[in-house]
Structure 1
């Protein structure tokens, strides 16, 4: 991100960074998939509703903040 910003501000064409951006998206999807596959659902359910409620609360908060920022920045 920093390298891209500096290079573009120095005059580099932004299209040369498209393959790197696609690769980074792929790696993020792979990491999230690995985290999901490593989650033991049975153990999570047996440990009670608190971890599930905490995860859901975090998901709602992050979604709310993301949507709020998009509205404030005029992107949504």
Structure 2
């Protein structure tokens, strides 16, 4: 039950953050940080998948 409860609380917290985000203001005021985040996303994904493969987790 604790594993399910922890996932539920993480989903609720992420939903609360998402619902309080003004997308238009975010894009207009922070295009550089948003671009950096979008640029880092593929690199983090590749490194994560590579480590999972090397550690025989995936």
Provide the rounded CA distance (Å) in 1 between the counterparts of 2:18 and 2:54: 32
1:1-76 matches, within 5 Å, as 19-76=1-58
**What is the alpha-carbon distance in structure 1 between the residues aligned to residue 40 and residue 11 of structure 2?**
20
**Which structure exhibits the higher relative contact order, with contacts defined as CA atoms closer than 8 Å and separated by 6 or more residues?**
2
User: Whole-Å Cα distance in 2 between the matches of residues 45 and 62 of structure 1?
Assistant: 22
Pick the structure with greater CA Rg: 1
Structure 1: segments with no counterpart, 5+ residues? 1-18
Stretches of structure 2 that go unaligned for 5 or more consecutive residues are none
Instruction: Point out 4+ residue stretches in structure 1 off by more than 3 angstroms.
Output: none
Backbone CA RMSD of aligned residues: 1.6
> So what's the TM-score if we normalise by structure 2?
0.78
